C-alpha cells in the first residue's frame, strides 16, 4: 500500500472517531439526573447510601470517603457537582450525635427518630451538596447529675437555636421560590415538585387514574411519571390496583 493510501485510511478513521464522539457526548450530558436516597452514618464514620438514583457513583456501602474527623468533630461531606433535576435525601446520624452546622443545596430540616438525629433535604435543578459538622457523645462512667443537667440544657438551647435558624432559612428560601411558583405554598414535606403535582392530581380526582392519564394531565414525560409513582408507592402514599391489562393509581387510604 502506498503512502497516500495509508494517509487516506488514517484520515477516515479520525473522521469516524470524531463523529462518534460528537454523537455520544451530547446524549451523556443530556441525561436527567435524579436521586431519592437514604444516607446512614455509623459512629465509626462508615457511610451507606441506598435508594433510587441514576447517578453512576452516588450509591455506596460502608464507605469512609465521605467522612473525616478533627479531634472531637466529625464532618460528613457529600458533593456531586452535576446538576440534578430533582433529589430527596434522608441522613441518619449516629446515636448520641450533636449537630453544629448543616450546609446544603436545596431545603433541609432536622428531626429525631429512634434517638437518632435525622436530616431531611430536597432540591431541584441544582447540584447535590451536603456538609454536616457534628459530634458524638458517649457515656463513660457516672457523672455529676448537675453537670449532666447543665449539658442537657446547653444542648437543648443549641438545638432550639439551630432549628430556628434552619427553619428561618427554609422560610426565606420558600418565599423566593413562591414568587416563581405559587403552588409551592402547598409544598408537601419530603416530596419533590413532580411528586407533589401527582399527589395533588390524585387527591382532586374522584376516581383512580391510569399512568397515561397522569402523563396527559400533567404533561410530564412517561419515564418521570413511572419513576415518581413507584417512589410514592414505596413511601406508602399511593396504591396501584391492577385490573386486567390496566393499572389504576389512587391515594392510599389511611
Lowest mean pLDDT segment, chosen from 2-11, 134-143, 193-202: 2-11
Neighbours of 115 (CB within 10 A): 8
Per DSSP, the three-state class of 74 is strand
Quote the mean pLDDT of the chain: 83
Fold adopted by 33-177: Immunoglobulin-like (2.60.40)
C-alpha 224: how far from chain center: 16
Domain residue limits, the chain: 33-177, 191-251
Cα-based distances in Å from 57 to 63, 100, 216, 228: 12, 28, 33, 21
- C-alpha cell recorded at residue 229: 409513582
Average pLDDT over every residue of 181-198: 68
Strand partners, 110: 119
For the chain, the distance separating the N- and C-terminal CA atoms, rounded to the nearest angstrom, is: 79
How many whole angstroms separate alpha carbon 228 and alpha carbon 170? 24
**pTM to 2 decimal places:** 0.52
The pLDDT tens digits for 17-70 are: 756 655 555 444 457 899 999 999 999 999 999 999 999 999 999 999 999 999
191-251 — its CATH code? Answer: 1.10.10.10
pLDDT of residue 31: 75
Say what the pLDDT of residue 78 is.
Answer: 96
Specify whether the CB–CB gap between 240 and 233 falls below 8 A: yes
Reported as a single tens digit per residue, the pLDDT across 194-241 is 999 999 999 998 899 998 999 999 999 999 999 999 999 998 899 988
Phi–psi pair at 74, nearest 5 degrees: -100, 145
Amino acid at each position: 500500500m502506498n503512502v497516500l493510501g495509508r494517509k487516506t485510511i488514517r484520515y477516515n478513521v479520525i473522521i469516524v472517531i470524531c463523529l462518534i464522539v460528537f454523537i455520544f457526548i451530547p446524549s451523556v450530558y443530556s441525561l436527567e439526573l435524579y436521586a431519592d436516597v437514604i444516607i446512614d452514618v455509623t459512629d465509626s464514620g462508615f457511610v451507606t447510601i441506598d435508594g433510587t438514583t441514576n447517578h453512576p457513583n452516588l450509591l455506596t456501602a460502608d464507605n469512609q470517603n465521605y467522612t473525616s474527623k478533627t479531634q472531637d468533630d466529625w464532618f460528613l461531606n457529600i458533593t456531586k457537582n452535576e446538576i440534578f433535576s430533582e433529589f430527596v435525601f434522608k441522613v441518619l446520624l449516629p446515636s448520641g450525635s450533636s449537630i453544629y452546622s448543616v450546609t446544603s443545596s436545596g431545603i433541609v430540616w432536622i428531626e429525631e427518630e429512634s434517638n437518632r438525629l435525622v436530616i431531611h433535604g430536597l432540591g431541584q435543578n441544582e447540584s447535590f451538596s451536603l456538609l454536616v459538622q457534628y459530634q458524638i457523645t458517649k457515656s463513660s462512667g457516672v457523672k455529676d447529675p448537675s453537670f449532666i443537667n447543665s449539658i442537657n440544657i446547653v444542648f437543648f438551647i443549641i438545638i432550639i437555636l439551630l432549628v430556628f435558624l434552619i427553619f428561618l432559612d427554609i422560610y426565606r428560601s420558600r418565599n423566593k421560590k413562591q414568587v416563581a411558583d405559587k403552588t409551592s405554598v402547598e409544598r408537601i414535606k419530603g416530596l419533590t415538585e413532580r411528586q407533589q403535582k401527582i399527589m395533588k392530581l390524585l387527591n382532586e380526582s374522584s376516581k383512580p387514574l391510569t399512568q397515561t392519564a397522569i402523563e396527559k394531565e400533567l404533561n410530564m414525560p412517561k419515564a418521570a411519571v413511572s419513576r415518581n409513582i413507584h417512589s410514592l408507592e414505596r413511601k406508602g402514599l399511593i396504591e396501584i390496583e391492577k385490573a386486567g391489562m390496566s393499572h389504576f393509581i389512587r391515594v392510599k387510604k389511611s
